[in-house]
Amino acid sequence: MTAPPFRRGRPYPDGDLVMTAAPRPPSRVVVVGASAAGLAAVEGLRRLGYAGSLTLVGDEPHLPYDRPPLSKQLLSGEWDTDRLRMRTPEVLEGLDLDLRLGEPAAALDTAAREVVLAGGERLPYDALVVATGLTPRRIPGAEGVTGAYVLRTVEDALALRDHLGRKPRMVVAGAGFVGAEAAAVAVAAGADVTLVSAAPVPLADVLGDEIGTMLAGVHREHGVRMETGALVTAVTSADGAATGVRLSDGREIAADAVVMGVGAVPAIGWLAGSGLSLGDGVECDATLYAGSGVWAAGDVACWLAPRTGRPTRVEHRTHAAESGLAVARNILAGPGAGQPFDPVPFVWSDQYDLRIQIYGRTRGADEVRVVERGAGPRELVALYRSGDRVCGVVGVNRPRQTRGYRALVAQGADWHEAVGTQDAAPVAG
Amino acid sequence: MRVTVDQDKCVGSGQCVLAAERVFDQRDEDGIVVLLDAEPSADQHDDVRQAALVCPALAIELAE
Ligand SMILES: Cc1cc2nc3c(=O)[nH]c(=O)nc-3n(C[C@H](O)[C@H](O)[C@H](O)COP(=O)(O)OP(=O)(O)OC[C@H]3O[C@@H](n4cnc5c(N)ncnc54)[C@H](O)[C@@H]3O)c2cc1C
Ligand code: SF4
């Protein structure tokens, strides 16, 4: 069976079904989401020799910019916005893109293979990359209230930075990495900061009790108040301005700035009714293929991770770039001929003078073992166990050394062999 | 190909070393990138491009 030519308005039988014929190379690729993952996909395609039409659609009006500094150097004022820019206009020009900025994709018609923009224009594609990232969760009561912030865009970060200049009384709801980083920057800027965490020990689900406890100690040392074991259930306000938060145990904390660091959900609303399988993100096979000529990359992609065999979504900066590149490769190979995407996840977080780095998956690990210490009390490397395998490594202020353990994670090394020569060492507070 | 790195932007992720260990290394004390070879030979170019693409801090610039 040979593949029929692509034709507008007529569905092309899914590539997955046309296993015997070499897939016809795509000549129209559309990428929705003009950030880390989308940019990696378009750069990857050009680098691999794709010469067809390439459209990059983004709802933000900006050229692609980087998010990790939003809760770090941009928030603190150390950097200005031009340092966030991912590529110069000249480099982007060289990619020969049809760049549609400030234009949200509103719908996807998989039968016609067209993306529908909010303005009504329809963009036909042979291959589509969904790289729309996440939308931050908001807390009830925050809608339309000044002084209630999320932290996802450059506008979000600048608005909060502006408020930090007035040294507010601030509550950070949620002690994940973004919330904890915001708390660290805010307290250094002279704000009065309370960090509210649902877990008894912040980040314990990711880092384990010991390192989580150490981190909480560092926050306290810098003057952050910690409220643990409570959820923020509402933002309270008067006359449209935040006055504080209400907690699940009924208590209220007064504040004129509230940061909602309570996670984010995949930005898939525009895909409703497309026929794609949507759950916790765009559901893909191991090659990041979602069917109907659609691929997904970055924070929004939920793919069958070969390493675990489980549907997985990763919200990390390097994952965005790596998955975008993988999608580029697999688009050119064609559906059914792509390579499984099997990365070792990596993420970092900067809080005060601590640089935390994680390779692999540490959430819900069965055991944590410190295997290396540096000169200072807060320099260490710890391995994480899942079953009888190494599943992750966390380093605190030991970047180069931590990388040395990555291979154990990549191989899923035997736990006892990996730690056999190491003695358990308690974590210094 | 000429490689430059911005040590101020670097976040010490080591991704560049994983991609091209003959061109990049990290400082022992803080993991910040060290450029071993500013004009890598042609057989390194693909790896170096990969490093620049995956660097999460956009700290690697290439002039080709
Ligand atoms: C404050 C903050 C700090 C972070 N710090 C770190 C860190 O220290 N280390 C780390 O590893 N990771 C960090 N991350 C995570 C990292 O930034 C993300 O993993 C990365 O940005 C994901 O890239 P992405 O391209 O998949 O999604 P995004 O960066 O979210 O980009 C998606 C883009 O698509 C656009 N979009 C959405 N819907 C539509 C639509 N319908 N039409 C058109 N465009 C649309 C969005 O506006 C956005 O521009 C941080 C994230 C944040 C927010
Ligand atoms: S990949 Fe980038 S951020 Fe990571 S060590 Fe290399 S230069 Fe630094």
Q: Which pLDDT belongs to residue A422?
A: 53
Shortest CB distance from B14 goes to which of A86, A397, A400?
Answer: A400
Would you call A40 an interface residue with chain B, using a CB distance cutoff of 8 Å?
Answer: yes
Instruction: Name residues contacting ligand 2 (CB within 6 A).
Output: B 5, 10-16, 24, 26, 33, 55-57, 59-60
The enclosing domain of B15 has a CATH number of 3.30.70.20
Q: Report helix, strand and coil shares of chain B as percent, to nearest 5.
A: 30, 20, 50
Which residue range(s) make up the domain with B58? 2-63
Q: Which pLDDT belongs to residue A23?
A: 57
Q: Quote the number of domains for chain B.
A: 1
Q: What is the ipTM of this complex?
A: 0.91
Each residue of A319-366: pLDDT tens digit? 999 999 999 999 999 878 999 999 999 999 999 999 999 999 999 899
d(CA A76, CA A181): 10
d(CA A7, CA A12): 7
B12–A355 C-beta distance less than 8 A: yes
Is the pLDDT at A318 greater than 60? The verdict is: yes
**Three-state DSSP class for residue A61:** coil
For A17-26, A185-194, A236-245, A281-290, which range has the lowest pLDDT when averaged over its residues? A17-26
Is the pLDDT at A428 greater than 50? The verdict is: no
Quote the DSSP letter at residue B16: H
Quote the DSSP letter at residue A28: E
Query: Which domains occur in chain A, in start order?
Result: 28-135+265-333 (3.50.50.60), 138-262 (3.50.50.60), 353-419 (3.30.390.30)
Q: Which pLDDT belongs to residue A216?
A: 93
Quote the DSSP letter at residue A15: G
Is the pLDDT at A394 greater than 90? The verdict is: yes
Match 């959820």 to its residue by tokens: A231
**Interface subset of A 353-372, CB within 8 angstroms of B:** 355, 357
Q: Which pLDDT belongs to residue A205?
A: 84
Cut 0.80: pTM above it = yes
A218-245 core/surface letters (b: 16 or more CB in 10 A; e: else): bbeeeebebbeebbbeebbbeeeebbbb
For the packed helices A36-47 and A317-333, what is the interaxial angle rounded to 10 degrees?
Answer: 40
Shortest CB distance from A399 goes to which of B18, B31, B57?
Answer: B31
Q: What distances in angstroms separate CA A188 from CA A10, A178, A192, B21, one per listed residue?
A: 59, 16, 10, 37
Q: Which pLDDT belongs to residue A257?
A: 98
Strands laid side by side in the A28-32 sheet? A98-101, A53-58, A28-32, A127-130, A294-296, A289-291
Q: Which pLDDT belongs to residue A5?
A: 38
Average pLDDT, rounded, for chain A:
91
**Interface subset of B 7-46, CB within 8 angstroms of A:** 9, 11-15, 17-18, 26-28, 30-32
pLDDT class of A374 with cuts at 50, 70, 90: confident
- For A242-398, where are the alpha helices, taking DSSP H only? 317-333
